[in-house]
């Protein structure tokens, strides 16, 4: 293997994949990624199952699928191919493209298509929408090649069942306090109208703004509250957002125990332009804190 030293994780992946007919070269080949992702889902199910057997505290994670977990670290408001590459090289699992015309981070669908076509299939591409019509959301999601639709406006619960079933939905809640009843009430309404989100994002509140404000929200104890309750939040993957930075993301993860985090302002040199160093530090801090949660 010409001097290549696989990390312990890579060696384990090779062992797991060897019996399934996958070689190292197929791991890097995007055309082979779909079957690989299915296999990854099965491996993840097994990992979660064995973790749950040994630690009931992990019960809240039992229903997470591999593609949902891929939203662990999302860098939002990407406006250029260079920024998208920097985010992925730093280790981000997902990038956000903003289709809200009122945002400083707005990208045209044509520009977004350019950015997406440069990225590997394994990176989750999320489109941010604020009160767009459902036909616009579906049309942009299809033409750009989005994996996820992030509903960041005042979309009613019935909106979700009209979003293309080929796209995952990330529903956003702007919360004033750590009280989670508004979330569970809305999730119940989504269920009644026929479609639940695949994950939710909790953002801070700034009157007159929808998101991307750089303002920190209140501390919310997702994991503790979910373990206590059996409601609709129990098995829902949660992304924490709002004023996160490389300096505070670790503490925010330790306080709230979310499945993932999302950032726009905290890793920028100016609105809509990411700072590669800040992105790198943010991802490293978030990865470390998320890994620690699993212990
Ligand atoms: O980023 C924006 O400009 C934006 C505008 C309107 C709606 C949503 C927006 N961003 C969506 C995001 O997911 C942001 O990352 C999230 O709101 C956190 O932003 P920040 O506090 O700046 O990290």
Residues 41 and 185 in one domain: no
Residues 270 and 131 in one domain: yes
Q: What pLDDT is stored for residue 104 in this prediction?
A: 97
Residue 57 lies in a domain: no
Question: Could you tell me if residue 272 is left (phi over 0), alpha (psi between -120 and 50 degrees) or otherwise beta?
Answer: left
Q: How far apart are CA 235 and CA 53, in angstroms?
A: 16
Residue 135 lies in a domain: yes
Q: How far apart are CA 66 and CA 90, in angstroms?
A: 20
In order of 38, 83, 91, 97, 211, the CA distances from 214 in angstroms are 36, 18, 22, 17, 8
Q: Is 257 a catalytic residue?
A: no
Whole-prediction pTM: 0.80
Residues 46 and 91 in one domain: no
Q: Is 76 a catalytic residue?
A: yes
Please indicate whether residue 239, judged by its CB atom, sits closer than 6 Å to ligand 1.
Answer: no
Token digits of residue 107:
């990208």
Residues 14 and 89 in one domain: no
77, 264 in Cβ contact below 8 A?
Answer: yes
Q: How far apart are CA 194 and CA 187, in angstroms?
A: 11
Residues 15 and 137 in one domain: no
Residues 27 and 157 in one domain: no
CA nearest to 242, candidates 268, 266, 216: 216
For residue 271, which atom of ligand 1 is closest to its CA?
Answer: 3
Long-range Cβ contacts of 223-226 (<8 Å, 24+ apart): 223/57, 223/60, 223/256, 223/257, 223/258, 224/257, 225/180, 226/60
Q: What pLDDT is stored for residue 176 in this prediction?
A: 86
Query: Among all chains, which residue has been given the structure tokens 């079957």?
Result: 35
For residue 74, which atom of ligand 1 is closest to its CA?
Answer: 15
Residue 88 lies in a domain: yes
Domains in the chain, number: 2
Q: Ligand 1 atom 1: the closest Cα is on which residue?
A: 212
Residues 42 and 90 in one domain: no
Please indicate whether residue 200, judged by its CB atom, sits closer than 6 Å to ligand 1.
Answer: no
- Enumerate residues 6+ apart whose C-beta is below 8 A from 98: 76, 77, 105, 106, 107, 128, 212
Residues 115 and 189 in one domain: yes
Residues 48 and 68 in one domain: no
Structural domain boundaries, residue 45: 8-52
Q: In which element (H, E) is residue 170 found?
A: strand 168-174
Residue 93 lies in a domain: yes
Residue 83 lies in a domain: yes
Residues 134 and 170 in one domain: yes
Please indicate whether residue 268, judged by its CB atom, sits closer than 6 Å to ligand 1.
Answer: no
Residues 136 and 249 in one domain: yes
Q: What pLDDT is stored for residue 45 in this prediction?
A: 37
CA nearest to 65, candidates 90, 86, 47: 47
Q: What pLDDT is stored for residue 179 in this prediction?
A: 85
Residues 76 and 221 in one domain: yes
3-state secondary structure of 235: coil
Pairing of strands 273-274, 268-270: antiparallel
Q: How far apart are CA 173 and CA 153, in angstroms?
A: 9
Q: How far apart are CA 88 and CA 289, in angstroms?
A: 19
Q: How far apart are CA 103 and CA 36, in angstroms?
A: 36
97, 115 in Cβ contact below 8 A?
Answer: yes
Q: Ligand 1 atom 19: the closest Cα is on which residue?
A: 212
Residue 3 lies in a domain: no
ipTM: 0.99
- How does pLDDT run along the chain (295 residues), one tens digit per residue? 333 333 333 333 332 333 332 232 333 344 444 444 444 443 443 333 333 333 333 333 434 454 555 789 999 999 999 999 999 999 999 999 999 999 999 999 999 999 999 999 999 999 999 999 999 999 999 999 999 999 999 999 999 999 999 999 999 999 988 888 899 999 999 999 999 999 999 999 999 999 999 999 888 888 777 767 767 888 899 999 999 999 999 999 999 999 999 999 999 999 999 999 999 999 999 999 999 987 7
Ligand 1 midpoint to CA 100 (Å) = 10
* CATH number of the domain residue 126 falls in: 3.20.20.70
Residue 76 lies in a domain: yes
Residue 2 lies in a domain: no
Q: How far apart are CA 3 and CA 33, in angstroms?
A: 26
């Amino acid at each position: 293997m010409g001097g290549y030293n696989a990390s312990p994780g890579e060696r384990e992946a090779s062992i797991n994949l060897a019996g399934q007919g996958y070689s190292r070269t197929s791991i890097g080949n995007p055309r082979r990624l779909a079957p690989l992702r299915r296999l990854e889902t099965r491996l993840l199910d097994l990992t979660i199952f064995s973790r749950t057997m040994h630690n009931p505290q992990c019960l809240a994670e039992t229903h997470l699928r591999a593609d949902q977990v891929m939203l662990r670290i999302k860098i939002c408001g990407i406006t250029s191919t260079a920024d998208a590459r920097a985010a992925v090289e730093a280790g981000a699992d997902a990038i956000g493209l903003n289709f809200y015309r009122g945002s400083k981070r707005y990208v045209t669908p044509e520009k977004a298509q350019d950015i997406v076509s440069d990225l590997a299939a394994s990176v989750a591409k999320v489109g941010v929408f604020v009160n767009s019509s459902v036909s616009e959301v579906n049309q942009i999601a299809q033409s750009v090649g989005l994996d996820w639709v992030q509903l960041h406006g005042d979309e009613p619960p019935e909106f979700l069942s009209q979003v293309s079933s080929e796209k995952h939905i990330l529903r956003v809640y702007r919360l004033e306090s750590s009280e989670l009843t508004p979330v569970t009430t809305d999730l119940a309404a989504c269920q009644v109208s026929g479609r639940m989100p695949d994950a939710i994002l909790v953002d801070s509140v700034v009157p007159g703004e929808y998101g991307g404000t750089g303002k920190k929200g209140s501390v919310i104890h997702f994991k503790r509250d979910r373990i206590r309750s059996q409601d609709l939040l129990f098995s829902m993957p949660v992304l924490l957002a709002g004023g996160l930075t490389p300096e505070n993301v670790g503490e925010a993860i330790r306080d709230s125990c979310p499945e993932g985090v999302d950032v726009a302002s905290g890793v920028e040199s100016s609105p809509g332009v990411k700072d590669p160093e800040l992105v790198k530090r943010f991802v490293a801090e978030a990865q470390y804190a998320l890994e620690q949660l699993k212990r």
